[in-house]
Structure 1
């Protein structure tokens, strides 16, 4: 069961997950058109899974339901998301066909953000990106750090299927924060080659992210030293160090 990223909008990925028998799922369809172009001749998906309420992750749902009426939609318990058959949160499970996903609460980017974990896959929406994390539009640094800690506790082999192709931009920042990280250099070179060849840089693995992603390495001495050089008072506290790192990324220009 290999997840497939469908490019959409400017830099989004809509994820599909299928098996050899024709069953499939759809995750975060922000635009119906690329889904229809890639998959519109298939039977309906078993379910549509949504991680959060932003339109670039849910905007295609009405048109897809018009094409495939009755497809169950599983979404966070957030009134800003319409067309949901089942409202879910951390600790719930989603069963659809042969798939069973654990729902993880991952507030930070939004207060009701969730992720889906199962079958060696993590659909992380805009919480965890390759070499980065989402902006804090609604949650606090403590919220987001707790969410990232929750995701970082999953097995190394977990495939990280996130919502945007941000890897190269994130790599440029990560190299400034953690310049002597050899694993990060290798990941940046790999991602550059993949993009030069027109391929997605995703999915990555959680093991790669723990080795390379500064937002998962907030306890690493090299990352703390970089934070301390900017904000000495923040570096001694884990949450404040993370908050400073996120502020730094918000204003970063390569």
Structure 2
């Protein structure tokens, strides 16, 4: 029997957005109830997840199975004498004992950076218990795995079964975060061929080649310091961001958040 609701293998499972379980319950028999639902389940049984069909007497195993470490959309939940099943196809059900509603961990082997100042608590599992240990802000940590919890938040394993919330993590080394004033200009209008990848800054504060990530009004500009205008030269807290003239005129002058990346 063809399965119609295949989603992805474990290698792409972190891209799935989990949807909460909800809505109405229907009685099938005195011992069986089914509930409309929506979400994603993940096969954790190394031998795969056997498929079952709903019958008048309850459930019966059929000659098909789902592969281990695969992810599937679900439509309904069934309770048969206390045993829970999830529907992954038309009258094709898997046992709760063979699956998990949480995404599995994905193996990693890379360095990341804690992108906030101060300390960040470490936990024994995603949304688990505080281990008593704290990771220092603005430091590099090696991560060994990632896992997405039921709310869609990503957590990272930093070793010794200690996990850190992904909202504090970045692949960039943020050395400093500060608030500055910024304007914008079009280098082409000034007869320059430097393009739009640069930003003019006070070179004693940000030497040429400094990578800045500038956030203004919800937009992010990744720029490298390549110039210093007269205004920026005399104002260390001023930036002049390169962009096309139409955008520069709309940008005006505003306060921006600036991250200095290493």
Report the TM range for the smaller structure's normalisation: under 0.3
Larger helix percent: 1
Output the TM-score relative to the length of structure 2: 0.25
Larger Rg: 2
Output the TM-score relative to the length of structure 1: 0.25
